[in-house]
Amino acid sequence: MFWRRRPTEPDRPADEGTASEAEIGAQREAERAEADTRRPAPQAGLPAIGEEPADGDLVAGVARSRGGFMARLKSLLGRGDPDAVTWEEVEETLIAGDVGATLALEVVERARRRHDGTGPVEAVRSELTALLVDREPGWVPHRAGPDAPAIILVVGVNGAGKTTTIGKLAFRYRAEGQTVLLAAADTFRAAAIEQLRAWGERAGAPVVAHAPGADPAAVVYDAVDAAIARRVDVLIADTAGRLHTKSNLMDELAKMRRVIDRRLPGAAPEVLFVLDATTGQNGLAQAKAFYESTGLTGIILTKLDSTAKGGIVFAIERALGVPVRFVGVGEKVGDLLPFDPAAFVGALFG
């Protein structure tokens, strides 16, 4: 089920990339033909229509990290009172686990100074936990009003699992009893539009989509309009899957924000960055670039089950000061889990 564009409204911002009447007409005809003659093709890894997500297992999801750098860490610190050489090895182990060199040194120095009688393993555990930013319990995306949708703009580089993550988010919110609308605002990649349509069909979430190459802000405008008209609970927009130059990305997302604010004053969209955990410190550099350009409000860390270096969670929260909101611990729909810092540290240390 797809939402087609309504006729252009008189108060639509003229400076937001509005097309001519002829172009709009041609686009409508193309979209009608596409909707009538083509349905999204099944894709590998997609759940069956109507499938209900069952929550994944965080403990199993971090098994590689727990058996990798964390096992080495506990082995080093379990020998008794660590000496200077042992602490150097601990530092190297934390670096190998993608905590980062500077941060690893800080953790070791603070852990060595602790004299609370808990032992070296608990000292390191406490210092790592302290790196995670404070967050409100039971976080939900902000809504501008009781009848207004919560809006989530999802950003990230291609290959990180951005569109798949949006599909899993849609399933999660739908399983919680909320209505969801998806916006295919990554218009530069036709495959992204088709993939989102396939996920939307299976999640029971309508998709607002224009033709490939259309103005992403126009897609978001129509999606917000549709969400308000349908009293949708959550609107999730898939945005450009590449960094461009910083100025281009900033301009594109700023334009989306202007459109949202004009249509829904008081809205405060969440901007969530999808980071592939297997990219480690390189992924952190990408996240920093997006943060500087767009002002991220949260992180979705995917493929955490595929890396033995789960220390990237500590590195990214400390570097950006924004919370990890969800973590992906498997391929199933329910394997995208809300991030619980205490549960994560507990699963990591075993």
Three-point CA angle 112, 116, 121, nearest 5°: 55
Backbone angles phi, psi at 85, to 5 degrees: -65, -40
Task: Report the percentage of the chain scoring pLDDT > 70.
Answer: 82
Q: Are 232 and 179 in contact (CB under 8 A)?
A: yes
- What mean pLDDT comes out for the span 240-246? 61
On average, the pLDDT of the chain sits at: 82
Closest CA to 40 of 162, 185, 181, 197: 197
Question: Taking 70 as the threshold, does the pLDDT of residue 338 lie above it?
Answer: yes
Q: Are 254 and 283 in contact (CB under 8 A)?
A: no
Per-residue confidence (pLDDT) for residue 159, from 0 to 100:
78
Per-residue confidence (pLDDT) for residue 47, from 0 to 100:
57
Query: In whole angstroms, what is the distance from residue 4 CA to residue 25 CA?
Result: 12
Closest CA to 278 of 298, 253, 257, 303: 303
Backbone angles phi, psi at 93, to 5 degrees: -65, -40
- What mean pLDDT comes out for the span 193-208? 93
Question: Taking 90 as the threshold, does the pLDDT of residue 197 lie above it?
Answer: yes
Per-residue confidence (pLDDT) for residue 15, from 0 to 100:
42
- What mean pLDDT comes out for the span 171-199? 92
Between 205 and 16, name the one with better pLDDT: 205
Token match 């379990």: residue? 78
Question: Taking 60 as the threshold, does the pLDDT of residue 254 lie above it?
Answer: yes
Query: In whole angstroms, what is the distance from residue 126 CA to residue 120 CA?
Result: 10
The pLDDT tens digits for 220-231 are 999 999 999 999
The pLDDT tens digits for 90-109 are 999 999 999 999 999 999 99
Q: Are 241 and 268 in contact (CB under 8 A)?
A: no
Question: Taking 50 as the threshold, does the pLDDT of residue 299 lie above it?
Answer: yes
* C-alpha torsion 286→292→298→302, nearest 10: -10
Highest mean pLDDT among 81-85, 146-150, 198-202, 205-209: 205-209
Query: In whole angstroms, what is the distance from residue 339 CA to residue 261 CA?
Result: 29
Question: Taking 60 as the threshold, does the pLDDT of residue 150 lie above it?
Answer: yes
Per-residue confidence (pLDDT) for residue 54, from 0 to 100:
60
Structure tokens at 313: 């969670």
What Rg do the C-alpha atoms of the chain give, in angstroms?
Answer: 22
3-state secondary structure of 7: coil
Per-residue confidence (pLDDT) for residue 46, from 0 to 100:
53
Closest CA to 237 of 245, 227, 246, 249: 227
Amino acid making up residue 161: G
Question: Taking 90 as the threshold, does the pLDDT of residue 133 lie above it?
Answer: yes
| Contact residues for 206 (Cβ-Cβ < 8 A; gap 6+) | 1, 2, 3, 181, 182, 200, 226
Query: In whole angstroms, what is the distance from residue 94 CA to residue 88 CA?
Result: 10
The pLDDT tens digits for 49-89 are 555 556 678 888 888 888 888 999 999 988 878 899 999 99
Per-residue confidence (pLDDT) for residue 24, from 0 to 100:
41
Q: List the 207-208 sheet strands across, edge first.
A: 2-3, 207-208, 180-184, 234-238, 150-155, 270-276, 298-302, 324-328, 336-338
Q: Are 11 and 165 in contact (CB under 8 A)?
A: no
- What mean pLDDT comes out for the span 314-322? 93
Secondary structure E strands in 8-117: none
Query: In whole angstroms, what is the distance from residue 211 CA to residue 283 CA?
Result: 31
